[in-house]
Each structure stands twice: as C-alpha cells, then as structure tokens.
C-alpha cells in the first residue's frame, strides 16, 4: 500500500505520486481479503489463496482494463468487498 501511495498519481490526493521515476504500470494490487473476494466474484482471480501468485494473477487481469494504471481499481474492489456487496 505504501508503494502504491508513493508511485500512483491521482487528482483526488489519495495517492501522492512522489516517486515519478517508477511507472504506475509496474505496481501490483495490494491484495487483502475484501479485494480478493471481490476479484474472485468478478472473475478477475481464480486462485483461492491470497498469496503472491494471486496478487500477480489479479494484477495481470486488471492490466487488461488499464495497462498504464492497473491498481486504480484497488479502492473499488476493497470498498465493495467491505460494504458487503457479495452478501446481497
């Protein structure tokens, strides 16, 4: 998460983008239980464990939607998972 904050740049001030020499495309999704569950529900992740292989798989899936900034979906996946989107 720290690396995401330091590298990603956005207009909302969530991510600071202080490390400009590292491209946003090189960041991996910080996978927690909520983002993992939502990723599985959306078909972005098939692996059952939340481990490094899962991080790699879901990040590759997200790169299909935005190769320049695949991690921009992190908050949406986390938020929907924590809000109980899957419970409805």
Instruction: Compute the distance between CA of residue 63 and CA of residue 59 in angstroms, rounded to an integer.
Output: 6
* Domain ranges within the chain, ordered by starting residue: 20-87
What is the token pair recorded at 75? 């908050």
Give 39-88 pLDDT, tens digit per residue: 999 999 999 999 999 999 999 999 999 999 898 898 889 888 777 776 65
- Indicate the pTM of the whole model: 0.82
Residue 72: C-alpha distances to residues 8, 20, 63, 64 (Å):
8, 16, 10, 13
Instruction: Compute the distance between CA of residue 88 and CA of residue 86 in angstroms, rounded to an integer.
Output: 6
47: nearest Cα among 57, 61, 35:
57
Show Cβ contacts of residue 63 under 8 Å, excluding neighbours closer than 6 positions.
25, 70
């Amino acid at each position: 998460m720290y690396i995401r904050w330091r590298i990603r740049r956005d207009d909302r001030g969530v991510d600071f983008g202080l490390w400009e020499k590292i491209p946003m495309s090189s960041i991996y999704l910080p996978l927690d239980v909520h983002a993992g569950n939502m990723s599985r529900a959306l078909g972005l992740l098939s692996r059952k464990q939340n481990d490094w292989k899962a991080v790699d798989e879901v990040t590759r899936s997200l790169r299909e939607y935005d190769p320049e900034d695949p991690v921009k979906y992190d908050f949406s996946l986390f938020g929907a998972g924590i809000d109980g989107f899957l419970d409805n």
